[in-house]
Structure 1
Amino acid sequence: MKIRKLMGALCAAGLLCNMAAPVQAAEALSVLHWWTSGGESKAVGVLKDDMQKQGYSWKDFAVAGGAGAAAMTALKTQVISGNAPSAAQIKGPLIQDWAEQGVLAPIDSVAGDWKKSLPPQIDKIMRTDGHYVAAPFSVHRVNWLYINKAALDKAGGKVPTTWPEFFAVADKMKAAGLVPVAMGGQPWQDLTLWESVVLSQGADFYRKAIVDLDQKTLTSEKMIQVFDTVRKIESYFDQGRTGRDWNLATAMVINGKAGMQFMGDWAKGEFAGAGKKAGTDYICAAAPGTDKSYTFNVDSFVFFQQKGQKDATPGQLALAKTIMSPEFQEQFSLYKGSIPVRLGVSMSKFDDCAKKSYADEQMAISANTYVPSLSGSMAQPDAAAGAITDVVTKFMNSNQDSKSAVEALAKAAKTK
């Protein structure tokens, strides 16, 4: 009886009864992304750990494929079936496309200081109708050339800043028995190389051709020269590139089998994962002719409305807030090879490549040579980007002449 009275008293005080009540399950966050390589998976692991520490469970839905095409197909299937993820990795114009479908949840309540904390060119991509619907992780520079330091030393030690210098270095690497240029065999990788060559003709030329899709620029003699240069670069590939993932091409440079690779700075995460040091084991330089320009690629998460509600869930808001925190921005980019998208984050812990990326970014923003990457899905909607990619890939996997490729390019640019 005494025990019963004691239990009753505790229950009336709101103690024992509450303790015995069922514990509410933590909100599960289903997250779709394509970060599956070593450096990438380590970076997204930081976010997963942060969210779990906050009491949220993480349902990882990783879809392999560097450019995210497979992930976007999977996302469409999920949304159509009424099983939209809590968050999904999406870029550029596609953010607006999903927003127009009325399926995204605004996250304004945690975005109080974002406008002043983001570069203006990036801030506008994160919003639709004045509302934030996406949270950006980091900024990648796409127009990088990675060089194995030992291979460069054997080839004369001079980082190429022009195409003639590049071809001279490539010839020396080839004579030394190396694959001069490591290259994968996926369409987005073809486009990554091609757009850097376009950028080497100047940021204004790039903007007119790739952002404005100006027909006069697309059919110009300069564009024919772009395809001629790409064709010559191809002669330094190895025969095994078909179907090769980008990180496997990066590994060729890391282990000394190949001398150079054109790739965005996410490749730096692979070098870091292999214990390689910038300046000592490898060099990161702007692609020849592009040192004054910067093609940016921004990774973001958008937040989908969950069943029965239009507002963002507590977990989604916590996820967005965590992504934009200075602490997460720093740690994520240290693993990913990028630089923080949030302004004002200290660069003291970053390597020389990242510090150069940040300095070059600020210079490019001021000089109006800061342009969106086409291969990074930042410059054009899917239809136009896909049509242009098809032209470039066909050219790089056939004997098509440059003039015919330019004609096809101009036609592809009219795709809506």
Structure 2
Amino acid sequence: MRYQFMTAALAVTTALPFAGPAAATDLEVTHWWTSGGEAAAVAEFAKAFDATGNHWVDGAIAGSGGTARPIMISRITGGDPMGATQFNHGRQAEELVQAGLMRDLTDLAARDKWAEIVQPKSLLDGCTLDGKIYCVPVNIHSWQWLWLSNAAFEKAGVPVPKNWNEYVAAAPALEKAGIIPLAVGGQPWQSSGAFDVLLTAVGGTDTFLKVYRDKDAEFAAGPEVAKVFKAADDARKMAKNTNVQDWNQATNLVISGKAGGQIMGDWAQGEFQVAGQTAGKDYTCLPGLGLNEVIATGGDAFYFPLLQDAEKSKAQEALAEALLDPKTQVAFNLKKGSLPVRGDIDLKAANDCMKKGLDILAKGSVMPWTDQLLSQDTQKQKEDLFSEFFAKPDMTVEEAQKRFADIVASAD
């Protein structure tokens, strides 16, 4: 459903101007980073903000973005805004901005030359509406990764796959060894995201863009996308015995060797690090499922609700600056498993998987992701479809593809 802002004004007037150094004050920051790796990463932001003399009041909301976003939006539209809140890059806060509920950061962005340091440019474009900047990009998260347990494949007596096709071929050996081939949790966004990764890897970047950027419903119903649905059918058969809900629970199945692998964004890397595992030794990462090495410029940004408290407004500016500080960018992204948005910092400490991502980024092999191309209404329809597809093996690929094409036809 679409969020309606019948009370857009909420006594909000013009944006408060940016002032000098922030006075010490508490600032509540809401986010959905609650797994082990995520908590370690967000602690770096809190530490950096507290170093300004202010205090980060943690407003973590357990579950996922799908659980947290409605709560965040309800608070903002209901007149109880937090000091800052996380959303994904793209259109998730679009209506809040249009309703005049979010702070304009254009002056701060110009003063600190964000346009020169934030890379790629599309990240800042995603924060821009009608020529004004409303958010601070903090990382680049890409969905296009396959995480594999080296121990699981050793137990099954087969080599660690180098691509999706080899992985599917190895599934019977994994099952024979009592290992779940593919871990996919029950949250709808996980199955939907896995399909989108397959759409890019199996179908190719052009196929992904024809479907989600061009919204070509006829193409979505055609033979190129049918190949992707065949791969998705393989995936749901491999995932049938996962029996966990949260994404990090599915990641932990890979970490423990109970599952062979997981299609998940690079935030999964934080969980491997917390577990003390080493990339290349304990686990293998395949960008683009080993078929199409490309990085989608998804990720996270912070928005700042418009407040009438002058001191909290100053603290918002201090937080915005801290989020893009070079040292903070390094510390946060190393623990989060994501890539920094600053193009001028050195990540010597990056592990093998992060280096793969940085190399792909350096080559310019980037693309937009669904959060940037689709409304939240369309995203929700897509999530509902693929949640059902993965949960119901009797749904045919033909039926699923037809429903998918219908969603694309009405996408906005």
Q: Is the 8 A contact 2:207 2:225 kept in 1?
A: no
Match of 2:406 in 1: 411
C-alpha deviations, 1:149-188, integer Å up to 9, x for none?
122345432433242x221122222222211111211100
Q: Distance in 2 between matches of 1:70 and 1:128?
A: 25
Q: Distance in 2 between matches of 1:411 and 1:97?
A: 25
Q: Distance in 1 between matches of 2:400 and 2:385?
A: 7
Q: Is the 8 A contact 2:138 2:300 kept in 1?
A: yes
Q: Distance in 2 between matches of 1:276 and 1:86?
A: 36
TM-fit CA distance, 1:312: 8.0
Match of 2:91 in 1: 93
C-alpha deviations, 1:320-379, integer Å up to 9, x for none?
11111111110001111111111121120110100101111222x3x5xx22332xx333
Match of 1:361 in 2: 361
Range with greater deviation from structure 2 (227-236 or 191-200): 227-236
Flag structure 1 segments of 5+ consecutive residues without an equivalent: 1-23
Range with greater deviation from structure 2 (176-185 or 347-356): 176-185
Match of 2:114 in 1: 114
Q: Is the 8 A contact 2:150 2:160 kept in 1?
A: no
Change over 3 Å in CA distance of 1:34–1:412 after alignment to 2: same
C-alpha deviations, 1:274-329, integer Å up to 9, x for none?
100001111111243543322232201001111367x9811111111111111111
Are positions 1:294 and 2:310 aligned together? no
TM-fit CA distance, 1:62: 1.0
SS of the aligned residue for 1:141 comes to: coil
Are positions 1:382 and 2:376 aligned together? yes
Moved over 6 A (4+): none
Q: Is the 8 A contact 1:95 1:126 kept in 2?
A: no
Q: Distance in 1 between matches of 2:332 and 2:216?
A: 37
Computing the radius of gyration from Cα coordinates, the structure with the larger value is 1
Match of 2:15 in 1: none
Q: Distance in 2 between matches of 1:308 and 1:236?
A: 53
C-alpha deviations, 1:4-28, integer Å up to 9, x for none?
xxxxxxxxxxxxxxxxxxxx98322
Q: Is the 8 A contact 1:145 1:284 kept in 2?
A: yes
Q: Is the 8 A contact 2:288 2:294 kept in 1?
A: no
Coordinate RMSD, CA, aligned: 2.0
Counterpart residue type for residue 215 of structure 1 = A
Match of 1:373 in 2: 369
Q: Is the 8 A contact 1:391 1:405 kept in 2?
A: yes
Query: Mapping of 1:126-165 within 5 angstroms?
Result: 126-154=127-155, 155-163=157-165, 165=166
Q: Distance in 2 between matches of 1:27 and 1:415?
A: 43
TM-score, L = length of structure 2 = 0.88
Q: For this pair of structures, how many residues does the alignment match?
A: 383
Match of 1:396 in 2: 390
Counterpart residue type for residue 338 of structure 1 = S
C-alpha deviations, 1:90-131, integer Å up to 9, x for none?
121123332111111122343232112121111201222322
SS of the aligned residue for 1:93 comes to: coil
TM-fit CA distance, 1:49: 1.6
C-alpha deviations, 1:17-48, integer Å up to 9, x for none?
xxxxxxx9832211110000001011111111
Q: Is the 8 A contact 2:215 2:411 kept in 1?
A: no
Q: Is the 8 A contact 2:140 2:340 kept in 1?
A: yes
Match of 2:72 in 1: 75
TM-score, L = length of structure 1 = 0.87
Change over 3 Å in CA distance of 1:262–1:240 after alignment to 2: closer
Match of 1:8 in 2: none
Q: Is the 8 A contact 1:104 1:133 kept in 2?
A: yes
Match of 1:331 in 2: 331
Flag structure 2 segments of 5+ consecutive residues without an equivalent: 1-21
Change over 3 Å in CA distance of 1:104–1:234 after alignment to 2: same
SS of the aligned residue for 2:361 comes to: helix
TM-fit CA distance, 1:85: 1.0
SS of the aligned residue for 1:138 comes to: coil
Q: Is the 8 A contact 1:193 1:262 kept in 2?
A: yes
Counterpart residue type for residue 403 of structure 2 = A
Change over 3 Å in CA distance of 1:291–1:152 after alignment to 2: farther
TM-fit CA distance, 1:246: 0.6
SS of the aligned residue for 1:184 comes to: coil
Counterpart residue type for residue 180 of structure 1 = P
Q: Distance in 1 between matches of 2:398 and 2:43?
A: 46
Q: Is the 8 A contact 1:303 1:312 kept in 2?
A: no
TM-fit CA distance, 1:240: 4.5
Query: Mapping of 1:8-407 within 5 angstroms?
Result: 26-66=24-64, 68-91=65-88, 92-111=90-109, 112-118=112-118, 119-154=120-155, 155-163=157-165, 165-200=166-201, 201-241=203-243, 244-288=245-289, 290-307=291-308, 313-363=313-363, 365=364, 367=365, 370-374=366-370, 377-398=371-392, 399-407=394-402
